Amino acid sequence: MAGISDFISSQVASAAGKVNIPANLKEKVLGGMSDSIFGSLTQTVTQPGGVDQLKELLTGKIDAAKSPVTDLAGNLFKNNTLKNLDLGGLETKLGALIPGIMGKLGGILKDQDGDGDVDFQDLILTLKGSNGGGLLETAKSILGGLFKK
C-alpha cells in the first residue's frame, strides 16, 4: 500500500476528474484539495479526542459526511484554496467532492501489526504505507508529542 498522501492524491484526482476545472487552475485546485484533506488529518490528531476521531473515520465507524475531520477538510479547502481562485459555480461542486473522498479513507485503518486491535501503532503503519516519507515523520512528531513516545 502506498502512503496515505499518495492515496489521497489519487482519490482527489479521480473525484475531480468529474468536474470541468479550467486547465490553468487544475493543479492549484487538486493540490489545494489534497493539502486540505491531509491538513485536516494532521490538525485533528493534535486536538483533544483527535486520535479517536481519526480512528472512527479511518476504520469506517463513522460516516465521512458526519465526521468533524471532513468538516475541517472542507473548511480548509474553502478558506485556503477556493477563496483565492475565481471558479464561480464550480466552488460548490468541488467542495461537495470532499465527503466522498474522505469516505474512501474509511476502512484503510486496520490491525496492521497483528496484535488484535487497532491502535496507535496501526495508525503509524497506515500513515507510513510501503514507502514511508514526510507524512510518517509528521505523524510521529505530532503523535509522539501527544503521547510522549
Q: Is residue 69 part of a domain?
A: yes
Q: Is residue 63 part of a domain?
A: yes
**Number of structural domains, the chain?**
1
Q: What distance, in Å, lies between the first and last C-alpha atoms of the chain?
A: 25
Structural domain boundaries, residue 77:
4-108
Tens of pLDDT along 9-51? 888 888 888 888 888 999 999 999 999 998 998 898 888 998 8
Tens of pLDDT along 60-100? 888 999 999 999 999 999 999 999 888 888 898 999 999 99
Give per-residue burial for 107-146: e unless 16+ CB within 10 Å, then b.
ebbeebeeeeebeeebbbbbbbbeeeeebbebbeebbeee
What is the predicted pLDDT for the residue at 131?
A: 46
52: its cell numbers: 479517536
Angle in degrees, 0-180, between the axes of helices 68-80 and 50-59, rounded to the nearest 10 = 100
Q: Is residue 66 part of a domain?
A: yes
12: its cell numbers: 482527489
Q: Is residue 126 part of a domain?
A: no
